[in-house]
Structure formats: C-alpha cells, structure tokens
Copies of this chain bind each other. A is one copy, B any other.
Amino acid sequence: MAHRIPTPSVPAPDIVRCAYMEIVVTDLARSRAFYVDVLGLHVTAEDDEAIYLRSLEEFIHHNLVLRKGPVAAVAAFAYRVRSPEEVDAAEAYYRELGCRTERRREGFTKGVGDSVRVQDPLGFPYEFFYDVEHVERLTQRYDLYSAGELVRLDHFNQVTPDVPRGRAYLEDLGFRVSEDIQDSDGVTYAVWMHRKQTVHDTALTGGNGPRMHHVAFATHEKHNIIQICDKMGALRISDRIERGPGRHGVSNAFYLYILDPDDHRIEIYCQDYYTGDPDNPTITWDVHDNQRRDWWGNAVVPSWYTEASLVLDLDGKPQPVTERDERSEMAVTVGADGFSYTRNDDGSPEGFKLGTQL
C-alpha cells in the first residue's frame, strides 16, 4: 500500500461543490442524442468539438462538457471554489504536493474563466474555478420540464485502489465523510465525501484506478427516474440500463445507473439527506450487509464493480491504471466465494436471493 499523501502546509482551497465534468466522447452526435434527446439535459452552447450541457436548476454555464476525441475518457472533475483567490490557493496547494498543475486565466472550457487543472496524487484530473458565466436558471421553466427531468448535478464517483489513502487526501482538501463501507478487518471498500450539504460531492470506490466510476444527476422525485427507464425501454435501449432502479443503503437515495454510448456510467439519483451540521453522524456499513448497496437486497451486477472510464492526464493521454491490492467488494460479497447477510442478528447467508448472482 502506498504511503500517505502529505498534508500541505498551505491552506486547502475552499471548495463549494462539484460543478461539472468534462468527458471525451468518440461520436459527438451519438452522445448528443443520448444526453439531450434521451436524458433531456439543456444545451448552453455547442460547436463541432464540444457540447456544453446543464441541468434544469443550474445557473452556471454547464455541468457536463462532451468533447470529441479518439478515446472515451474523463478530462476533468471540476469543482467550484468560494472566490477567485481560492483558485490561487488550489494552485499553491497542489504545487506543494508536487503535482503537475496548469493555470489558464481564460479557462479550459467555454463559459468558465480563470481555472487551474491538476493531476492529483491519485492520478485524477481535478479542476478548480470560481469565475463562470451565469446563464438562465430554468427552475420554473416547466414548459421545458420533461417527465424524467434532471435538475442538478449531484456528485462524482472515482475508482481508486487504496481508499483510505484517497480518503485522507480528500479530508485534507476539506471534504468530510458521510458514509463508508468497511469489513471487520478494517478494510475500507468505499467512502462518500462532501463539501455541499448532501451525502457527497465525490465518492471513492475501491478498485483498479484512477478511473471514473460515474457522474450523477438528481431528479426531484422517484417517478422521474422510473420514467427514464420507461423511456429507455421505449427506445429499445434497455440494455443500457446497467443497474437499478433501486434504493441505496448508503446515502438512502433512490438510484439508477445507465451507460452512455461510450460506456461512461451515469447515475440518476434522488432524495439523499442533509449533512450540513458539523457533527453530522457518519455511517459505516458492513461490506457483508446485503442491503448496503441496494436497500432491497437486489443484486449488484458484476460490471458495476469492474467497469469504469479512463481518466486523462493534462496532456490528454489516458492515465495508466493501477490494480487494487486489497480484497475487492465483489469478491467478498458476490457468488460462491462471497458472503452477505440480510439480517445481521444471525448473519445467515440465506439472505441471498436465489439465482440472482453469478
């Protein structure tokens, strides 16, 4: 296991929230059909190279950038900071960490100004910005409101081999832990961390990384998520519904995972809970609790554990992926070798739903 990432002597930047993700897609028209025609995200701007999309209640320029490129991957996980000065703070912070940084006063994407991008110690391309173009917030544009409307960007989810190492790094960066999954030997399988007052702005999922597990958008109500499934059925792309819908144990949110045309995973998510108090109780789930990932005990499909998107370095080249050394959550919980329980008083493995797992 790699050594701990040192805590810089300079203050961490004051991060407000996860703000947008930039992803590389291999066929812009095909991706537009998915994100705009199927999911109904709103186009702020577009050209031959990129499409800038936002959710209904967003007032900054975009929550998602689709950029045309040869290899499907993630170009940036972008966070908004509290003031222009905090971009300087971010740059200084990562320089002290010895990370490669790149500052662009005019921004990396349309509609966003002064920004710094870094290759962070876990290998992820992080961006920090404050300056951004305000656009029409469509909150009350119910004339545009689709039956499966996405109203906010909710969070990122990152795959990394060593979760405790990543967790300590993000805690230094000011993130606070809301929930995690562990086993009785102290192995951590995943952790949820937030800046805004929800369960997470990002989460770390243990696995081969750095990779992007998913980016999540919120709906208002559960039926909005069901409509997305129904619509994908009507379009005969139900095979792009990977997992769900269901109720998460962790976060308590109602969820759905779908795959875009490049296999980037999108979560649709609603109704987690308020975490804004300084002593918000942290919840630790037992990895063997069969309701941790799905409160109803429905199966997690293996691809959900194994597949994820590559991430790019600042030159636009895919980062190499390091294998996880520790036990995988899938191995310890799924199938003949795994162990899960439904009722933790007896811990009996009969909790499995017969035949729903490999």
A interface residues, Cβ below 8 angstroms from B: 16-17, 57, 59-60, 80, 82-83, 134, 137, 139-147, 149, 151-152, 196-197, 220-223, 226-227, 229-239, 241-242, 245, 247, 249, 252, 254, 271, 273-274, 276-281, 290-291, 295-299, 301-303, 342-344, 350-356, 358
Contact A143 B226 (CB under 8 A): no
Q: Name A38's closest neighbour in chain B (CB-CB).
A: B143
Interface centre among A17, A152, A247, A254 (most CB of B within 10 A): A247
A230-B145, A276-B17 known; A140-B242 Cβ under 8 A: no
Residue among A137, A151, A230, A351 with the highest chain B CB neighbour number at 10 A:
A230
Max count, chain B CB within 10 A of own CB: residue among A60, A254, A301 = A301
Q: Which of B222, B236, B277, B298 contacts A222 (CB 8 A)?
A: B222
Is A247 a contact of B233 with CB atoms below 8 Å? yes
- Chain B nearest CB from A327 CB (Å) reads 19
Given A59-B277, A146-B146: 6 more A-B contacts, CB < 8 Å: A134-B281, A221-B221, A233-B247, A303-B353, A355-B358, A356-B356
Is A234 in contact with B277, judged by CB distance below 8 angstroms? no
- Compute how far the CA of A297 lies from the CA of B297 in the bound complex, rounded to whole angstroms: 18
Please name the 8 residue pairs, one residue from A and one from B, whose CB atoms are nearest each other, closest first.
Answer: A238-B297, A142-B230, A233-B295, A302-B355, A142-B234, A142-B231, A147-B147, A239-B342
When C-beta atoms are compared, the residue in chain B nearest to A279 turns out to be B134
Q: Which of B226, B279, B352 contacts A239 (CB 8 A)?
A: B352
Chain B residue at smallest Cβ distance from A305: B355
Instruction: Determine how close the nearest CB of chain B comes to the CB of A46; give it in whole angstroms.
Output: 22
Q: A297 touches which one: B151, B241, B352 (CB < 8 A)?
A: B241
- What is the bound-complex CA distance between A298 and B137, given in angstroms? 24
Asked if B59 and A231 make an inter-chain contact with CB atoms under 8 angstroms apart, the answer reads: no
A354 in contact with B302 given A16-B276, A223-B222, A296-B241 (CB within 8 Å): yes
